[in-house]
A and B are shown apart, each in its own frame.
Chain A
């Protein structure tokens, strides 16, 4: 059947380039990545400028609407950082917060994703659960603190519960949204290839919803940290939120900034982890 072989307008295959010298390669790499390099360079300069402004504002104790009188300088924060990393108590605070996030967020994902998938597929489940979810959803996780303390026997459990609540609703809502956007033509395509309900769910609905599920996980992770820090500040013993609040009570101003920066870094790290997981799970979306 020669017609097919000759017919296909196959895209031109570039012949293998002749081996290039290191210099040419470096130059080519530079040309291809010029935009990225530029962005990185400007980013570094911008961060340095931020540190410099911070340094000047605190060294000269500027008072201009806001008061920098008691704000620690970058150097003071650095000093307390070098002390803290050798302090097992500081590391324990961080470890405990991470554990709470891990348990609360994992539970939210393990319950929220399947629930969203099932709600998206079965009308009755949707009709029963959706109204309750809509009523509970606008209540910020922090507003649950007193109730959580009443509900759960230990402080630790109530904090994990708050973290869970914070991430649960974004995950559920985004999974549902993903399910509602599944292309019906793909479902039909699967059906006339012999797929039954179970396979359609596994082979079409689930992968088609994955991008939105991961949006939900990213948003959920952010809200989980917000909820956790608030809960730790209010009711905690231990945890990085508690550490930050305690630093204020104990008049250790440098530790306040250290706690804040630690929270920022942890939040960034966990959202990067989710993004990485997303790229692993959805190879068809990476360029």
Chain B
């Protein structure tokens, strides 16, 4: 176990004066502007914001897939200039290798590092055991449910003992029940490994439930609109989601996001219009209204 997961209690992410524009035929598309974020070692930080605001862009720049147009991304003081096993990534589309079994997927990073076969097999089994997947080590990903695939995705990203874990809407494609279980599993792994996590989601409850801190982004071009500390105690329980503290945080974040979502939609739909619609709907079935 210890040979697999070294590198704990490090992983200080620093993003400064960051902006990123995509080159297109119609000229540059400014996706993210003037952004500063940081993640302290061992901290769990989420980024929320309306879709298209540049969350993935920011995360991909931290991963090293995109170069910032201006500004700098560093991890533990070292400038990021390309993908590396130091920064593990989990994708919404699972992105497991279909031609590798569950265990071979988990072993991949260790194989790339040149670890001998028997050693990495043992390491992969240990990790799969932690995620309750030991019975599926010989299965191909196609046969697994979405939740199991994503568990493999997380385990695979953690196998090389990265300093930080980046997740881009990892549970977005899962049903509500599975998502809750996955959140629990991720929290457990994070607490065990003391790794820094940068988590992108559009689910406000998920962000609050998981995080130490939440960044809320503006509509495109995205920048940080607000930074909200989440003072809820740990370990967190599902029941906390009904607490007044949680609900207050939720209300605050909700209104921030709502403002930005409306902006993102062009601002045509104003608050009054929305209220009018809900009043008209009152007492009628949807079919009556249509």
Contacts and interface: CB of A to CB of B under 8 A. Distances in A.
Interface of A: 1, 3-5, 7-11, 183, 185-186, 188-196, 199, 203-204, 207-208, 210, 282-284
B151 A189 contact: no
Nearest to A185: B95
A207 B185 CA distance: 31
Contacts of A284: 98-101, 140, 142
A8 B132 contact: yes
26 contacts: A1-B188, A3-B188, A4-B132, A4-B185, A4-B188, A7-B132, A8-B148, A8-B151, A11-B145, A185-B93, A186-B95, A188-B63, A188-B83, A188-B91, A188-B95, A189-B91, A191-B83, A192-B85, A194-B84, A194-B85, A194-B113, A195-B112, A199-B112, A207-B99, A208-B99, A284-B100
Interface in B265-283: none
A35 to B, nearest CB: 23
Nearest to B182: A7
A7 to B, nearest CB: 5
Contact of B108 (A1, A203, A210): A203
A203 B84 contact: no
B32 to A, nearest CB: 19
A3 to B, nearest CB: 5
A196 B132 CA distance: 31
B142 A192 contact: no
Nearest to B63: A192
B180 to A, nearest CB: 9
Interface in B152-186: 156-157, 160, 177-178, 181, 184-185
Interface of B: 63-65, 83-85, 87-89, 91, 93, 95-101, 108-109, 112-113, 130-133, 135, 140, 142, 145, 147-148, 151, 156-157, 160, 177-178, 181, 184-185, 188, 192
Contacts of B109: 193-194
Given A192-B83, A194-B85, 9 more contacts: A1-B130, A10-B135, A190-B97, A191-B83, A192-B63, A192-B84, A193-B88, A194-B113, A284-B140
Nearest to A210: B99
A9 B145 contact: yes
B93 A194 contact: no
A203 B109 CA distance: 11
B97 A192 contact: no
Contacts of B96: 189
Contacts of B192: 1
Contacts of B64: 192
Contacts of A191: 65, 83
B95 A194 contact: no
A199 B101 CA distance: 18
Contacts of A9: 145, 147, 177-178, 181
Contacts of A183: 95
Nearest to B60: A188
Nearest to B64: A192
Given A1-B192, A282-B99, A8 B83 contact: no
Contacts of B87: 192
Contacts of A188: 63, 65, 83, 89, 91, 95
Contacts of B185: 3-4, 7-8
A42 B96 CA distance: 42
Contacts of A207: 97, 99
Given A1-B192, A194-B160, A195-B112, A8 B131 contact: yes
Contacts of A196: 112
Contacts of B188: 1, 3-4
A244 B160 CA distance: 63
Given A1-B188, A8-B181, A192 B88 contact: yes
B130 A7 contact: no
Contacts of A194: 84-85, 109, 112-113, 160
